[in-house]
A = this chain, B = another copy of it.
Amino acid sequence: MINTLIKKIRQVDAPIVAGLDPTLKFVPEHIKQKAFEEFGETLEGAAEAVWQFNKAIIDNIHDLIPAVKPQVAMYEQFGIPGLITFKKTVDYCKAKDLVVIGDVKRGDIGSTSAAYAAAHLGKTAVGSGLIAPFDEDFITVNPYLGTDGVKPFIDACNQYNKGIFVLVKTSNPSSGEFQDRLLEGGEPLYCTVAQKVAEWASLSMDTGDYSNVGAVVGATYPEIGKTLRKYMPKCFILVPGYGAQGGSGKDLAAFFNEDGLGAIVNSSRGIIAAYQNEKYESFGPENFADAARQAVLDMREDLKNNLG
């Protein structure tokens, strides 16, 4: 699956992921009003508003980007109707030939991770058949439980040609509390996790230089990114934290390999809520999807200027 992502990155010449993390605050009034008129101020109404919002943005940016990353929490907050919108969003993006990274950060003991892997990457056996419940292309995975909690996801990568990104160093301010702890020997925990991710990566190499097993390292920690790039040479790094969280284009070079590949940079609010940003406010709420397109174009430019 990593080769599919690489091919798409080359086609559009932009290592950009649009984070589809809608909250109702990002959805323009006219869309909410229409959805609430039809479904009331209910979870169904909220989910419909998010769906219309997503669809307009996807329609307007799909030709510019290789991948999207819907954050499932933003859909779970609207209960079952929200998860129906999550699934519709996954399917719609795949139909538009986008690679879909389900940002689900799942991870549990082996038998439970196997169920999550079936839910999001693989298939569930029902009677004599096999059914793919959510069927994303990649998902994010939490490593805290160790190898037997991650292995079922790797198995699903191999069986169904899928991929995962394992959390190594996250973009948030408190990420250092545990991830940066120095172990006996002097290395921080994130290095130990990265070593393990490199091992896991060797279990699901795609044809070519890269593995279907990648890592998550926040743009907000470029020095750490530089170190971790070397620990996991075969891993693509999914880089959150660009834009709204404070990471900038000049911080990103460290995350890429010399072949110009090896990383993909996520922006969520910076793209989908661009019209609420002073820089793009002239678009107005009616043209939120055009503002999103302009934000992608500007991000592409910023990356080009800084990555050469």
- Interface residues in chain A, defined as those with a beta carbon under 8 Å from any beta carbon in chain B: 21, 23-24, 32, 36, 41-43, 45-46, 71, 73-74, 76-80, 82-84, 87, 105-110, 112-113, 115-116, 118-120, 124-129, 131, 133-134, 142-149, 167, 170-179, 181-184, 186, 189, 192-193, 196, 240, 245
Contact A116 B76 (CB under 8 A): yes
Contact B124 A146 (CB under 8 A): no
Chain B residues near A42: list those with CB within 8 A: 126, 131
Instruction: Indicate if the CB atoms of A192 and B184 lie closer than 8 Å.
Output: no
Cα–Cα distance between A133 and B78 once the two chains are bound (Å): 6
- B residues in contact with A71, CB < 8 Å: 108, 112, 115
Give the distance to chain B from A264, nearest Cβ to Cβ, in Å: 18
Q: Are A148 and B172 in contact, CB atoms less than 8 angstroms apart?
A: yes
- One of B41, B128, B134, B144 near A129 (C-beta < 8 A): B41
Q: A41-B128, A76-B116, A144-B170 are in contact. List 9 more A-B contacts (CB 8 A).
A: A23-B115, A43-B126, A46-B126, A78-B126, A79-B134, A105-B107, A105-B108, A146-B178, A178-B189
Q: How far is the CB of A81 from chain B (nearest CB, A)?
A: 9
Q: Of all chain B residues, which has the CB nearest A127?
A: B41
How distant is A220 from chain B, measured CB to nearest CB, in Å? 10
The CA of A179 and the CA of B177, in the complex, are separated in Å by 14
| A41 and B126 within 8 A (CB) | yes
- Among residues of B, the one whose C-beta sits closest to the C-beta of A73 is B115
Q: Which residue of B lies closest to A109 (CB)?
A: B172
Q: Is the CB of A133 within 8 A of B41?
A: no
18 contacts between A and B (CB under 8 A): A32-B127, A45-B126, A73-B108, A73-B115, A73-B116, A76-B115, A76-B120, A76-B134, A77-B115, A79-B87, A80-B80, A142-B144, A146-B175, A146-B179, A148-B173, A178-B196, A182-B183, A184-B184
Residues of B within 8 A of A108 (CB): 71, 73, 105
Is the beta-carbon distance between A87 and B80 smaller than 8 angstroms? Answer: yes
Which of chain B's residues has its CB closest to A25's CB? B125
Q: How far is the CB of A217 from chain B (nearest CB, A)?
A: 13
Given the known A-B contacts A42-B131, A80-B84, are A177 and B124 also in contact in the complex, defined by CB atoms under 8 Å? no
In Å, the complex CA distance between A149 and B76 comes to 17
Q: List the B side residues contacting A87 at CB < 8 Å.
A: 79-80
Q: Are B79's CB and A142's CB within 8 A?
A: no
Question: Which of chain B's residues have a CB closer than 8 A to the CB of A176?
Answer: 146
Interface contact B192-A118, CB-CB below 8 Å: no
